[in-house]
Amino acid sequence: DAGITQSPRYKITETGRQVTLMCHQTWSHSYMFWYRQDLGHGLRLIYYSAAADITDKGEVPDGYVVSRSKTENFPLTLESATRSQTSVYFCASSQFLGEKLFFGSGTQLSVL
Amino acid sequence: KQEVTQIPAALSVPEGENLVLNCSFTDSAIYNLQWFRQDPGKGLTSLLLIQSSQREQTSGRLNASLDKSSGRSTLYIAASQPGDSATYLCAVRFQGGSEKLVFGKGTKLTVNP
C-alpha cells in the first residue's frame, strides 16, 4: 500500500546500544523529517532531509544520526542509546516544504 | 522565541455540540498553519492547511480560520460526534529561514455520546 511506514512499531533496548529506526515512503516526496514526541515537550524536530544525500539538523539532533541514500528511505540511528531518548518517534514526509505533512504511525522506543 | 500555544489542554463536550479549538502563535510572520488530528497510539493526520494569504479553509464539518495580525487560528467542528474524539494539534511554519514546523502541545477533545 502507498504511504509512509515505520519499523519497528515497538522497540526495547539497553543504554549504550545502537538502534536504527526505519522509515519508508512510497510517494517519492522530496522532504522527510524525524520528530520525537514527549509529554510536556510536544513534537520536536530531530533531523530533516530535502532530498537524497541532503540532510540537516533540527531542534534536538544530539545523539542521533541520519542518512538518505535513496529518496524513499530515511533511517534514524541512535548511536549509543540513553534513557533520555525513550520517546515516541515519528517520521513524516511532504513533497515540498510548507505542504501538507504526512506522518507514519510511529515507533515507541524504550531505553532501559 | 517562536511559540505555539493551545488552550485548553483538554475539552469535553456532549455529542452534537459545535465547538471551537484555539491556537495562538507569537509571531505574525508565518508561511502557513496546519491543523492535525492524533488518535491514541497513532501518527498525526493533517486536517487543514492554511497559507498565510488565506483567511480560512473548510473540509466537511471542519473549518479553520487564520488571523495573522492577532496571532490566532481557530478550528471549528460542527455537530461533533464521538468519532471526533482525539488530540488536535496546530503547527506553524514561521518565516525567517527555519525549515521546521513549530507544534503546539495539543487539545485533547472528548465527545461524549
pLDDT band at A78 (very low <50, low <70, confident <90, very high): very high
Measured between CB atoms, does B45 come within 8 Å of chain A?
A: yes
Cβ–Cβ below 8 Å for A105 and B42 = yes
Q: What is the pLDDT of residue B36?
A: 97
Which helix (H) or strand (E) covers residue A40, if one does?
none
What Rg, from alpha-carbon coordinates, does chain B have?
14
Cβ–Cβ below 8 Å for B101 and A45 = yes
The residues, ordered by sequence, that sit 6+ positions from A25 with a Cβ below 8 Å of its Cβ are: A3, A4, A5, A32, A72, A74, A91, A93, A102
Cβ–Cβ below 8 Å for B99 and A59 = no
With cell 533520555, the residue in question is A84
Q: Residue B40, Cα to own-chain centre: how many angstroms?
A: 17
pLDDT tens digits, B31-40: 999 999 999 9
B22/chain A closest Cα distance in angstroms: 16
Structural contact between residues A16 and A111, judged by C-beta atoms closer than 8 angstroms: no
Cβ–Cβ below 8 Å for A42 and B44 = no
The residues, ordered by sequence, that sit 6+ positions from B112 with a Cβ below 8 Å of its Cβ are: B12, B13, B14, B15, B82
pLDDT tens digits, A2-25: 699 999 999 999 999 999 999 999
pLDDT higher at A14 or B28: A14
Which helix (H) or strand (E) covers residue B87, if one does?
strand B86-94
Residue-averaged pLDDT of chain A: 94
Share of chain A above pLDDT 70, in %: 98
Task: Return d(Cα B30, Cα B51) in angstroms, integer.
Answer: 9
What Rg, from alpha-carbon coordinates, does chain A have?
13
Interface A-B: count of C-beta contacts within 8 A: 49
pLDDT tens digits, B41-73: 889 999 999 999 999 999 999 999 999 999 999
Structural contact between residues B11 and B44, judged by C-beta atoms closer than 8 angstroms: no
